[in-house]
Structure 1
Amino acid sequence: MSREQNINYLVEMGFPRELAAEAIKINGYVEPSIAWCIKKQQSEIGYSLGGTGPTGQALGGGGAGNTLGGAGQTLGGGGGQTLGGESGHSVHQDVVAPPEEVKHHMTEAEREAAMQRIKERIAEKKRQDEIDNERSELEKEKMRRVEGKEAQAAKEAWAKAEAEREAMIKKRDKERERLAKEKVREQIRIDQINREAEEKKRKGETVPQQQAPVAKPPSEEPKKEYSSCVIQIRMPDNSRIEHTFPITSTVRDVLTFVMQNRKDGKANRIQLSTTFPKKSYTESNLGTTLKDADMVPRGLFMASYI
């Protein structure tokens, strides 16, 4: 825990903040600081009865007097006290009651009881911390599962989009191949007619006047018109953003959308690029429309930090 957390820990146990701060500053950790705080408070309350003075005198409580060996002096409790010196003179005077804080001095049993209560508080706080940590881990696990489901859904959507794109590309290539073969067959037919005409002319046969064969234009499949396209952006952290844009939108519009909806928590600038064909979009070509960038009806941009 940090220094401030340690101080708050001691304050929650009932110690004054100033005392807790001083204890943590001296000891560094919670447990030695607890013992230090108790000892500090005990020293501020007062000392135990029967403390020895510089001349060997002792303070007696109510009842019979106590005797200490000093210079033959005796202090009697109760209604008066007698001081006996070497000359045998005696003086009677009233006993001054001990200070109030001395009466409330913490005994050994009380200190042990206080330590036991503190230990129970520490144990209770540890149990509460364990419960809080367990709840926190459960919440984190729930969030991980939710994020995992979202990531799986995004992955499946991406795979589906890629499969559709690949199917569209294959279909387009197949159509181009069909048109090319048809054009070749038509050219072969025209060449054959021309050869037959040349052969008849060489033999002196009359070649009927006929219009030169014209190649038939290859049939083309009606092209579907799109007004919008679905763009997916793969972020540097492998998360994905998907949005539908008009085909007249530019790459700059896509970049603006990404900057406004990014969830990576970073402030880095982002650059967009494509993989097939590999192309990076900088300030010079951000004005390219999605239609010109061949992103219709679906497209993918890779985002990277710059």
Structure 2
Amino acid sequence: MPSDKETLLSMGFEEARVNWALKETRNSGLQPAMDHILSHEGQPVPDLSTVSSSGGAGGSSGAMDVDEDDEDAAELRDMIKSQGSADVEAKSIKCSLCGKTFRNTALANFHAEKSGHDQFEESIEEVKPLTEEEKKQKLAELREKMAAKRAVKAKEEAKEAKENEAIRRKQGKDLNKIKEDLKAKEIEKEIEQRRRDKVEDAKARAAIKAQIEADRIARAERTAREKALREGREIVDAPSSASSAPQVRPGGPAAAAATTSSSGVAGKDFKETRLQIRLATGGQPLTTTLSSEATLREVAEFVAAQTLTVDVDTVSFAQHFPRKQFERSDFSKSLRDLGLTPSAVLIAS
């Protein structure tokens, strides 16, 4: 029976390259050695004294996959072995499904495992040994099949890489879209808040103007009353609500109460009250917006929460325009009842 080396030499491979392949594969068989030769084709043969056995066919990075090429290689080897034993009668086994003929049972079993065919019969046809030209042609076919497999594998890897890149880009676009949507929503909220602030400021300015006008009329009426009293003339009540108030000194408590009442009526339709609270000790003014039904004590609690120098039970509030000092009994009254709507400036001390 010819050895693996003799078989490879009979296939036309160089002896030095055959020795290199057998040493690299540790003489693990014909197929690993053939894989090594084909995968290292074109590379110079190193000095075998410096080459260490790498352990089986793993030393070849381009080992062939097991397919019908293995079947052909095994058949080729069996044919070559038959040349060295001419006294053994050639036998063949034929696959009834595909018509292929095989020299021995081992090749037929290998074909059955690969193809799944299970119907074989003995044949009197003798499988002729390959000529030198047929061996070279067979070797060329094996090389072409290996190159084709590598090309298909490279194409599949390139396609997979392209698909992965497309998925990555799509995920990046989706993330950017989410960020843009969130930013757009934030901008919309900011615009809406600005619009509301403008509306509230316009309402507050209108209320302040109305309050100023009412105070101007009240002052004019008080001045006219005082002048009439000094001159001894009869006092004629004006049709306005301010003229129905009793005659008092300008700036007195009754005048402040009347002015406060008029401002309270002007702000009765406002549900919220905007307050600016200035501390008697100085510093940055405090601003807040409370319900018009909130009490003055809630304002005191707000101020006490903002600064440690103010105590809820001892703090007092005053108003410069119209001038008024709030008593402790006013702490249970609502901002609407105290005439602080829709906006007011308080002095906390």
Asked whether the two chains share a fold, i.e. TM above 0.5, the reply is no
The alignment's TM-score, normalised by the length of structure 2, stands at 0.35
Greater RCO (Cα-Cα under 8 Å, separation 6 or more): 2
